[in-house]
Structure 1
Amino acid sequence: MAATIPLPEPTAELPLEAVERTSRLIRQQRGRADALIEVLHQVQELYGHLPPAALAQVARELRLPLSRVQGVASFYHLFRLEAPTAHRCAVCLGTACFVKGGAELAERLERRLGLKLDDAAGNGTWALEHVSCLGACGQAPVLVVDGQLEPRLPVDDPAALEARLEALGLAAGDPVGAGR
């Protein structure tokens, strides 16, 4: 019988209530290893991301190697291993949005916010990501700012686009989003 290496205990960096809630989530799944993805989704809802100590707790309580839990968490793009920024902006680059100026919109937002597309850490306040489709093709190009869909952005009219972005709190010269 192979010896097992003990996993680190959750540290004081995790609130006790959250640690207890994670344990309850795992018990609700009857500690089944095949429930790993569901457990990770619920843990991410709890913390807003998947902190290392929470991954260690999940591994220990599901009796899985930490490397497997970390591998699953890092493989799926819906899991965040870093705390999310205060504000998120998603630009659609699906076919309809791309054809109607989605790429130009993404470039403009990168310059405006002073960050790179798909850098999860963003600039500390804002993160800018691309999505393949938001299901609003008839309203292209579209953008989602903090969960709110913004349709029919006037990419071909720079002044109107600037005014619209300003109204959304994406103020020019305000790369940290203080105007929001």
Structure 2
Amino acid sequence: MWSFFSRDPAKEFNYEIGEKVPGLEDKSIWSLHHGKKKSSGEPVSIFAFDIKSASETQIQTAKSSLKRLKTLRHPNILTFLDGVETDKVIYIATESVVPLETYLQENDSDGHNQIAISWGLHQVVKGLSFLVNDCNLIHNNVCMVSVFVDPAGEWKLGGVDYMYPAQGADSIPPVKILPLLERYNSPEKTEGKKMRTEKW
């Protein structure tokens, strides 16, 4: 009985956390790491959040992000595999991806394939359409840091940290913790206009 209470959920996480992937520094509350499934060795990505060095607002944002990502299933949204939350860390395991900025830098030999970029933007818009039209949610953080690329070159929308309902009493954009992300606010937020969100 006593061992049940002394268990560390992070040790029971089914994924090994590897080296850090560059690209999210100062732009996200998460750090991104290579990872693999312990049972099969299958490559994954691990988003890690350090609770010990975070503010209460950041902790609530990370917890909300974990809950949101768990419930979203769409080919153009980052695929959630597993997550664990302790009093020290929050880990989210997803399909194997790299940040879009890192992907573009590593594939810059031919000056970016315009067709591949057009297709990637199309995938991001399909993901946004799913969120707005099917889930009634506003992403509120569309920028390069919230887009990831899988090994097949497919673009996936992530960065759901500041998502909020499109309508209803809770339809209030949360404050972005990182000032760097404020530049990506929509005009109705930056100019103080009260606009109803229309489905599109």
Scaled by the length of structure 1, the TM-score of the pair is 0.25
Structure 1 or 2: more helix by fraction? 1
Q: More strand by proportion, 1 or 2? A: 2
